[in-house]
Chain A
Amino acid sequence: RKEVEQDPGPFNVPEGATVAFNCTYSNSASQSFFWYRQDCRKEPKLLMSVYSSGNEDGRFTAQLNRASQYISLLIRDSKLSDSATYLCVVPQGGKLIFGQGTELSVKP
């Protein structure tokens, strides 16, 4: 099992849709989790941190399921500007492990 594994994507959704991505992790001792957004050929930027069961910021909700060892990112009312790759990041053994990313494309 990979240390951090994300839904492979790409996800193609219409504007206004609700979309969710999953990220599974292998180390049950991980305590904090992060979602980063990366636009094409740009650097990743922090979207959300998750330190407990979940976090919500406007249209974005991150949920943590420790028993099943996954975190999810829910985007409501998708906008064209949400099109990007979303990276799941899990601290592990003093390092940060990145998932391979899930690509989202929001269409008019």
Chain B
Amino acid sequence: DGGITQSPKYLFRKEGQNVTLSCEQNLNHDAMYWYRQDPGQGLRLIYYSQIVNDFQKGDIAEGYSVSREKKESFPLTVTSAQKNPTAFYLCASSTRPEGIRANVLTFGAGSRLTVL
């Protein structure tokens, strides 16, 4: 079955360490997204990519970096510059940016990062 796989599901990090969260999709979707969710808040967009080798900053990109070398993969690195990295991170994908179903997102199961 097609879907999005995020790993790891749980991750603990010491302050000052960089960590990379994996996101792989086999839906043949062009667009991929990273969101952050904090308790009691809506999802906030970190980065998004509409095509391979191209990505744009979202609303809270500071302290994060991404790459999109393959259509299937969109890893997110949480750097030591991110001041409050403890959160639930969700990767999502959608079909081509244009078209009526462009805004229908399929999410991975999420990665829960805790900074000790």
Q: Which residues from chain A sit less than 8 Å from chain B, CB to CB?
A: 4, 32, 34, 36, 41-46, 49, 51, 87, 89, 91, 94-96, 98-101
Q: B18: CB under 8 A from chain A?
A: no
From the candidates A32, A43, A91, A101, name the one contacting B42 in the complex (CB within 8 A). A101
A-B contact count (CB 8 A): 49
Are the C-beta atoms of B90 and A43 separated by less than 8 Å? yes
Q: Which residues from chain B sit less than 8 Å from chain A, CB to CB?
A: 33, 35, 40-45, 48, 58-59, 88, 90, 97, 100, 103-110, 112
Could you tell me the distance between the alpha carbons of A46 and B108 in the complex, rounded to whole angstroms? Answer: 13
- Interchain nearest-CB distance for B113 vs A (Å): 14
| CB nearest to A88 among chain B residues | B42
| CB nearest to B50 among chain A residues | A94
From the candidates B42, B58, B109, B112, name the one contacting A95 in the complex (CB within 8 A). B58
Are the C-beta atoms of B107 and A44 separated by less than 8 Å? yes
- Interchain nearest-CB distance for B35 vs A (Å): 8
Could you tell me the distance between the alpha carbons of A42 and B35 in the complex, rounded to whole angstroms? Answer: 13
Chain B residues within 8 Å of A95, by CB = 45, 48, 58-59
Are the C-beta atoms of B103 and A43 separated by less than 8 Å? no
Chain B residues within 8 Å of A99, by CB = 42
| CB nearest to B40 among chain A residues | A100
Chain B residues within 8 Å of A4, by CB = 42
Given A95-B58, A101-B42, CB of A42 within 8 Å of CB of B100: no
